[in-house]
Amino acid sequence: MTMNKNAKLLENLEWQGVSRRTFLKYCATLASLMALPPSAGRAMAEALAQAKRPSVIWLPFQECTGCTESITRSHSPSIEGMIFDMISLDYQETLMAAAGHQAEEALHKAMQDNMGKYVLIIDGSVATGLDGAYSCIAGRTNLEALREAAQGAAAIIALGSCAAYGGIPKAKPNPTGAVAVSDIIKDKPIVNIPGCPPIPVVITGVLAHYLTFGSLPELDKLGRPKAFYGETIHDRCYRRPFYDQGKFAKSFDDEGARKGWCLFELGCKGPVTYNACASVKWNGGASWPVEAGHGCLGCSEPDFWDAGGFYKALSMPADPLKMTAGAALAGAVAGVAITVANRAKKGAAKAAHETTTLADLEK
Amino acid sequence: MNEMQFLTWVRGPGLDIALSLFVLGVLWRLIEIYSLGRKKDLSAPRHKPGASGWHTIARRSVPPEGMFKTSPVSYVGGYVFHIGLAIIIFLFIPHIKLIESLVGVSWPGLPSQVVDLVTVVTLAAMIVLLADRIMKPTKRYLSGFQDWFTWTLTFLPVLTGWLAVQHLLLPYTTMLALHILTAELLLVFIPFTKLFHAFTVFGSRWFNGAVNGHKGVPV
Amino acid sequence: MSASLEKGVRVLKEVIDAPIASYFSSCVHCGLCAEACLFYTETGDPKYTPIHKLEPLRRVYEQEYTLLGRVAKWLHISKPITDAELAEWQELVYNSCTLCGRCSVVCPVGNDIVYMVRKLREGMSASGNAPEGIKGAANRTVTIGSPMGVRLPAVKAQMKHVEEDYGIPIPLDVEGAEYMVMLSSMEIINFPEYLGAIAKIMRQAGKTWTLCSTAFEATNAGMQIGNSDLAKVIVSRIVEGAERLKVKTVISPECGHAYTALRWEGANLVGRPFTFQVKHIIEVLGEFQEQGLLKTEGMETDRLTFHDPCQLARRGGVIQQQRSLMKMIAKDFVEMPDAGFMNWCCGGGGGASAIEEGEELRLEAFKRKKAQLEAVKPDRLVTACANCRIVLEEGLEHYQMDIPVIGLTETIAEHIPEKGA
């Protein structure tokens, strides 16, 4: 934001010490991650280099800033950070220098100047309880701000599990009435980039795709880019062979854990979690949760917080059984009741027995 | 309801409801059946009846002399499908984890590829048995709604479980939730359909063995 | 609901017990019992599947003794048993079931199907749905004392003949004899050689024995028709006779169902354990053979095979004795396929042979026995049940097979040296 807005991207990058070669490589990587043909890397590089930087407005709602942390502090030198050079990030509370009225003015100016063209990034869920009063910025509820900002947006990126699905604020009992962006906005293209936080390259990949092709990447039915959310953690997990062989760590400090066996029994949600962690990894490819020895929490799935406990195997009951003991009792009572009734009936039949005579053999 | 909510429901309240109805039904039916009692046999036994009832429980798992060749499909299909089901239910590790979390007992499982193969064979056996039920005059004659219904109830959890593991047709989460849901439906209906033979088969074989053991006939 | 139907249902309610409940709850409609039933295997008609023959009993069980069935009945959504239905089932419960019990030993879930048929017959007979033929037999047994109308004078005449032919006195009403020998009217009329054989065997063994003037008839049409009250009347005569004469053992004759009626049902019918033992003549012969009290000479040289009466073998537990007895007197003894425990019924057991209208079906079912016989081609067929013998002879004649049928006891007796003992 300190840079000259009109300067060409490549010049800016060079100014930052990122060579053209590095940039091309980055574009090729992005293209391959998004399962685009090899030629798309070059196209992407050219498009990005030429792109007039589109205005991006980033609104934070009920969030923890983890998503912002993820993208800004991913690793250094910040190759993902380059994306900020490709866009004109006109409003981002955490990153912008402006505050108070100045910030509000910047927001409204950006919205007016780029009406119908800007990309709206939302992180955090939208509080709807008490008409949205749980979360306000500049005296206005997130709900109002979202509706207003969405009107002029070309596309919306719901960043992080909160914006995408309601996330932790929506966890039971959801006191603020938190909902996802897509629950409020129905008439704009929305791409969900879930994760708590999401993988940085997924965010930049989606932006790069938008900048290059002017459209959102192909989405699955939960609104996620298929390229990154097409497979489960489990399917791409390097520990998968242990699952197939039936080798499981039973505790976090047993022999199996030391040998790097599958963490399914320790509650890993990899089998039901669609994300790219296992292939892209985190912190510049350094590691990722399962590699670090902890099961996947399933943070990029809707309602992961209420999905039955992080340390319970998926095949285990999500909640403690509440009714079974009562049901056993009810079953026994029903059994005894019918026994009494049956005995009475059989007794009555016996009591009514009339010794059969030969005459009785006829009707 | 999204997929994860669906899955969490079937793993949570759904499981609670299904297991409760299952336990309720099993106890109720077992008491209902066996409380009818039977008269003491006053005739002198040929020799001490001993464990003839228990012997029959085991012996009746083997086809009696000459029977195998009369209905090879029923026997082979029956064996494959029952043993297959037992392997799938009791030796697939996620199932063992479920049982462990419910009753606290655990045992080693089989590699998932083995269970996978067993599942395919079990599904095939069930389809063959269904075809046999349709084609064979006696079986078709005896069959009513319950026979088709219970076949479906048994087939679906095996099929959805396999589809889930193989990532076919639907996303894993949805398929897993469907698998658990169909297994729960199966549980609920066990006490109230012919599937209850899973419990009463032991009592029936025991009675038969005891009555005939009294006469000195090892049935 | 007619009074008779009401009575039938009430009787069924009395007899339904835990085994029946367990059996109906276990049936998976696998149809294997059909393969064990000669009425199915020889006709291919699925209505003869044994478990299907129990439909009325199953419905009464469900409607009367299960919670869901009771609710369904209360809501009038289940089909009540009708008289017409029971009448329709008569053919399935009597004509096409000989109580042979093969189905009970093949059922994979362990259902004792014949146990249930026996119980269903209680309701069938009480509701007036038993076949005329067995009703007649029951009538004669209760009123005259024997299903074929044989009275004591006829027995005495028979005794006299035998005494003349064999030169051995036939004891009657001897108190304190070790054995009380029972007869079946079939033997009194058709196979008098049985009584002579007994006389020879007992003389050789040196055992005391007697006939009983108040209880010579062993057969029990009350049990065949499936009515415990009538069966009790008939069996009580034997119990009283045996107790009056203070015998140790009552010998059931070469008759299958008489053995079941006396040996296994008797004590339950009279409601107390017997004070005497009950043995089939083949068991007694087996004991004599084992103890060296039975000595024979000479061997039959033609090819013989043995037809196991169902009630003796599969339903009675006497399987080995007849085989060692056969080997004692036959050089060329061959076993039919499925012989012994899994033997096929002659087709006329359980009262079926008394049902006139069932004859055609019976002959159809006889094809099974025919096939068994064709597999070993015997010169003569030995058995140990007078009813089997009659039914076998009828079947063999129908299919023009020239195989004489003989009784095992008389065949053994023929080999007892004249001046033995």
Q: For C252-282, how does the pLDDT look when each residue is reduced to its tens digit (9 = 90+)?
A: 999 999 999 999 999 999 999 999 999 999 9
Over residues B77-92, mean pLDDT: 96
CA distances from C42 to A245, B193, C19, C347, C364 (A): 53, 32, 30, 11, 6
Find, in chain A, the residue whose alpha carbon is nearest to that of C15.
Answer: A346
Asked whether the beta carbons of B27 and A332 are under 8 A apart, the reply is: yes
A157-197 pLDDT, tens per residue? 999 999 999 999 999 999 999 999 999 999 999 999 999 99
CATH class (in words) of the domain with range C3-130: mainly alpha
| Residue-range domain boundaries for chain A | 9-229, 233-306
pLDDT reported for residue C98: 97
Same fold, C3-130 and C140-288: no
A200-240 pLDDT, tens per residue? 888 888 888 887 888 888 999 899 999 899 889 999 999 99
pLDDT reported for residue A79: 54
B106 part of contact set with chain A, CB < 8 Å: no
pLDDT above 60 (res A93): yes
What is the CATH architecture assignment of A233-306?
Irregular (4.10)
Measured on CA atoms in the order C150, C155, C156, C157, is the torsion positive or negative? positive
Over residues C397-403, mean pLDDT: 96
Q: Which residues of C touch A363 (CB under 8 A)?
A: 2, 4, 83, 127-129
Measured on CA atoms in the order C37, C38, C42, C47, is the torsion positive or negative? negative
Helix (H, G, I), strand (E, B) or coil at C127: coil
For residue A191, the surrounding DSSP H or E stretch is strand A190-193
Q: B24, B30, B176: best mutation site toward chain A, by most A Cβ within 10 Å?
A: B24
Q: How confident is the model at residue A81 (pLDDT cuts 50, 70, 90)?
A: low
Is pLDDT larger for residue C121 or for residue A86?
A: C121
pLDDT reported for residue C399: 96
B173 part of contact set with chain A, CB < 8 Å: yes
A318-336 pLDDT, tens per residue? 888 889 899 999 999 999 9
| Cα–Cα–Cα angle for C215, C218, C223, rounded to 5 degrees | 120
B118-169 pLDDT, tens per residue? 999 999 999 999 999 999 999 999 999 999 999 999 999 999 999 998 889 9
ipTM of the predicted structure?
Answer: 0.95
Q: A220, A237, A321, A345: best mutation site toward chain B, by most B Cβ within 10 Å?
A: A321
Q: HSE of C250 in the Cβ direction (CA atoms, 13 Å)?
A: 31
Q: Which of A78-87, A330-339, B168-177, C51-60 has the lowest mean pLDDT?
A: A78-87
pLDDT reported for residue B212: 92
Over residues C205-220, mean pLDDT: 94
Q: Which of C29, C68, C268 sits opposite B41 (nearest CB)?
A: C268
pLDDT reported for residue C156: 93
pLDDT above 70 (res C377): yes
| DSSP of C261-280 | IIIIIHHHHHTS--SSEEEE
- Please measure the distance between the N-terminal and C-terminal CA atoms of chain C and give it in whole angstroms: 64
What is the CATH architecture assignment of C140-288?
3-Layer(aba) Sandwich (3.40)
Provide the mean pLDDT of chain A: 86
Asked whether the beta carbons of A140 and A107 are under 8 A apart, the reply is: no
How many percent of chain B have pLDDT more than 70?
Answer: 100
Cβ-Cβ contacts under 8 Å for C202 (sequence gap 6 or more): C179, C208, C209
pLDDT above 90 (res C31): yes
pLDDT reported for residue A263: 95
pLDDT above 60 (res B60): yes
Q: How confident is the model at residue A92 (pLDDT cuts 50, 70, 90)?
A: confident
Q: Which of C67, C126, C143 sits opposite A360 (nearest CB)?
A: C126
Contact state of B211 with C271 under an 8 Å Cβ cutoff: no
CA of A350, closest CA in chain C: separation in Å? 6
CA separation for the pair A140, A133 (Å, rounded): 8
Per DSSP, C155 falls in state H
pLDDT above 70 (res C420): no
pLDDT reported for residue B66: 87
| Residue-range domain boundaries for chain C | 3-130, 140-288, 295-414
Contact state of B35 with A342 under an 8 Å Cβ cutoff: yes
pLDDT above 60 (res C28): yes
pLDDT reported for residue A314: 85
What's the fold here for domain C295-414?
Rossmann fold (3.40.50)
pLDDT reported for residue A1: 40
B111-127 pLDDT, tens per residue? 989 999 999 999 999 99
Q: Which residues of A touch B101 (CB under 8 A)?
A: 312-313, 316-317
Q: How confident is the model at residue C419 (pLDDT cuts 50, 70, 90)?
A: low
Q: According to the CATH classification, is domain A9-229 in 3.50.50.60?
A: no
pLDDT reported for residue A82: 63
Asked whether the beta carbons of A171 and A306 are under 8 A apart, the reply is: yes
Q: How confident is the model at residue A76 (pLDDT cuts 50, 70, 90)?
A: very low
* Neighbour-count burial of A34, counting CB atoms closer than 10 A to its CB (0-12 exposed, 13-18 middle, 19+ buried): buried
The partner residues of B110 in beta bridges, in order of sequence, read B92
Q: How confident is the model at residue A101 (pLDDT cuts 50, 70, 90)?
A: confident
pLDDT above 60 (res A3): no
pLDDT above 70 (res C123): yes
pLDDT reported for residue A128: 94
pLDDT reported for residue C200: 94
Q: Which residues of C touch B208 (CB under 8 A)?
A: 19, 104, 107, 110-112, 115
Is pLDDT larger for residue A353 or for residue C420?
A: A353
